[in-house]
Chains A and B, each alone.
Chain A
Amino acid sequence: MPAMASLTAFVALAAFVVAAPIIPGVVARTKAMLTGRRGSPVGQLYSDLFKLARRGVVYSTTSTLVFRVAPIVLVATTVAAAALLPLDGRASMLHFAGDAVAFAYLLALGRFALVLAALDTGSSFEGMGASREVTFASLVEPGLFVVLAALGVMANDFSLTAMLGEPVAKVSRGGGMLVPPSVMLAVSLFALALAECSRVPVDDPATHLELTMVHEVMALDHSGPDLAMILYANALKLALFSAIIAYVLVPGSRLAGWPGLFMLLGSFVVVGVAIGIVESVMARLRLPKVPLYIAAGSALALFGLILLLR
């Protein structure tokens, strides 16, 4: 029977959901500053979302109910995945044994909906983007599961609350031999997050050439509130990954409750800056090289897992 949440968990989830759009803003701001410009304000995505929500929506005559429903499914699954994370450092709103698997598959479900919508339009660009997205996702998922397995080994339990929240603090985390694996897992997660959320070096969100797009092209035909939901869901996914990275590096128990919340928001900024730096420094990888990149990230996680299994 899933345990009910405490107040802090609910507030944390609400804050998380509200604050997520900061991250793309931080990324854009960092990139601008690194190139000597002022750049758009950090809260730019908020104004974009409101603007899009007020607009009307245009649906193609070849699209069906799938196209209309998909963005809603996407947002719903992503928020549900967020509910599984122990965002306040103690326990999540909803936790049960094995919810790490549910987490991964909720994200997959959201992506599935988006892909279906892209195929629904009948446009070849969107179909191409969908196939690329699905290929990369099928490579990222094993890597993500290796990370989750490593976290599970560390916590001796396969629930996200146990892995990232309070209970894992009961396992002594100060020993020297846990630091390198945690760092490795964090770096691997970062690499996988870049792949999952369609950032450089896997996909360039700023490109305007459809032939080079992976994720953006799937959202090409959406407009108005639908587009707003897709952009929001992307930001939420980034927020999810930065939360996990934060809790991998800093065990949840240290900062439970309100301090945990602030740490969470701080992690948004840190991860956003990191992504901004990566996007400014690196170019996008050629498509055939992307599997190698994802495999390298997964290998790093595997190494951490092996170290923990000794």
Chain B
Amino acid sequence: MTPLADLALLLIVLSDFAVLATSRLSACIRAVAFQGILLGALPLLLHPGMALHTVVLAGGTMVIKAGILPWFLRWAIREAAVRREIEPLVGYMASLILGAVALAVAFAVATALPLHAVGTDLLVPVALVTVMIGLIVLTTRSKAIIQVVGYLMLENGIYLFGLTQLQRVPFLVEVGVLLDVFVGVFIMGIVVFHINREFDSISAARLTELHD
């Protein structure tokens, strides 16, 4: 099972970079949906054997992260009638380079951490990379929907990290976390909808009235 889990983790990293490099909003959402599928499959790949709670968790994750949330984000895009991101603060080349640096840092840090065997030793570095790239997307993009996608990636990375503790932390807790993320993104999406209505655009760069 480990090679399949490794493959899933590598594909997750590739989808991170896909979000970093593209300017088409629907492509970003598709990449995150793809990530959701992979994340849903990972508990089953890491702990083979169909324990009930693993199956429920996997199914729930896939439904929420690969089904409901991307559908909701696509609805938000349709409402706002936006298709492409304009050139972000940092620029796509610089974002890609930042992502590559984050990749190197994550793997370097992971080798320094005292990791006990957890099924695959790619899990922690990939989690760190996804968190960092999620942060990069969240802070450097100007369209609010992409910031929500960045937040989703950040949460995905943390979820990956939680998978290292899957056997020990009862699944009730993982479900709780999943639902919280779901509600969080939901509310953010609604706010984006309101932003679009109010400002006629979902560029967060317009939100500059409040300052000292």
Q: In the complex they form, do A and B come into direct contact, defined as C-beta atoms under 8 angstroms apart?
A: yes
| Residues of chain A lying within 8 A (CB to CB) of residue B13 | 303
Partner of A296, one of B2, B21, B103: B21
**Are A299 and B6 interface neighbours, CB within 8 A?**
no
Contact of B21 among A176, A177, A292, A306 (CB under 8 A): A292
Cα distance A309–B103 in the bound complex, in angstroms: 12
A176 and B17 contacting across the interface, CB-CB below 8 Å: no
CB <8 Å contact, B107 and A292: no
> Is there contact, CB below 8 Å, between A306 and B107?
yes
Question: For this complex, into which size category does the number of interface residues on chain B fall?
Answer: 20 to 34
* Chain B residue at minimum C-beta to C-beta distance from A296: B21
Chain A: interface residue total (CB-CB under 8 A) = 17
Q: Is B97 an interface residue (CB 8 A)?
A: yes
Question: Cα distance A53–B14 when bound, in Å?
Answer: 47
Binding site secondary structure of chain B: helix
Which positions 54-90 of chain B face chain A at CB distance < 8 Å?
none
Asked if B167 is at the interface (CB within 8 A of a chain A CB), the reply is: no
Q: Are A292 and B92 in contact (CB under 8 A)?
A: yes
Which residues of A, 269-310, contact B by the 8 Å Cβ criterion? 291-292, 295-296, 299-300, 302-303, 306-307, 309-310
Interface residue ranges of A10-41 to B (CB < 8 Å): none
User: How far does the alpha carbon of A180 sit from the alpha carbon of B11 in the complex, in Å?
Assistant: 10
Distance, CA A306 to CA B103, complexed state (A)? 8
Chain B residues with CB under 8 Å of A176's CB are: 2-3, 6
Chain B 1-45: CB-based contact to A (< 8 A → 1; otherwise 0): 011001100100110010001000000000000000000000000
Q: Which residues of A contact B7 (CB under 8 A)?
A: 180
Q: Are B6 and A180 in contact (CB under 8 A)?
A: yes
Residues in A neighbouring B100, C-beta threshold 8 A? 299, 302
User: Which residue from chain A places its CB closest to the CB of B7 in the assembled complex?
Assistant: A180
* B114 → A minimal CB distance (Å): 16
> Complex: how many Å from CA A306 to CA B9?
14
Is A303 in contact with B111, judged by CB distance below 8 angstroms? no
Q: How far is the CB of B12 from chain A (nearest CB, A)?
A: 12
In chain B, residues 104-163, which have Cβ atoms closer than 8 Å to a Cβ of chain A? 104, 107, 111, 121
A310–B104 CA distance with the chains assembled, in angstroms: 10
Distance of B19 from chain A, by nearest CB (Å): 12
A292 to B2, CA, bound (A): 33
B residues in contact with A180, CB < 8 Å: 6-7, 10
Do residues A295 and B97 form an inter-chain contact, with CB atoms below 8 A? yes
Question: Within the assembled complex, what's the spacing in Å between the Cα atoms of A295 and B103?
Answer: 14
B96 at the interface (CB under 8 A from A): yes
Q: How far is the CB of A291 from chain B (nearest CB, A)?
A: 6
Chain A residue, CB-CB nearest to B97:
A295
Q: Can you list, as one digit per residue, whether each of A130-145 has a CB less than 8 Å from chain B (1) or not (0)?
A: 0000000000000000
Instruction: Tell whether B189 is near chain A: CB-to-CB under 8 Å.
Output: no
A306 in contact with B93 given A176-B2, A176-B6 (CB within 8 Å): no
Query: For residue A306, which residues in chain B have a CB less than 8 angstroms away from its CB?
Result: 103-104, 107
20 interchain pairs, CB-CB under 8 A? A180-B6, A292-B93, A292-B96, A295-B96, A296-B21, A296-B96, A299-B96, A299-B99, A299-B100, A300-B14, A302-B100, A302-B103, A302-B104, A303-B13, A303-B103, A306-B103, A306-B104, A307-B10, A310-B111, A310-B121
Given contacts A179-B3, A299-B99, 11 further A-B contacts (CB under 8 A): A176-B6, A180-B7, A180-B10, A184-B10, A292-B21, A292-B96, A296-B96, A300-B14, A307-B10, A310-B107, A310-B111
- Give residues in B with beta carbon < 8 Å to A: 2-3, 6-7, 10, 13-14, 17, 21, 92-93, 96-97, 99-100, 103-104, 107, 111, 121
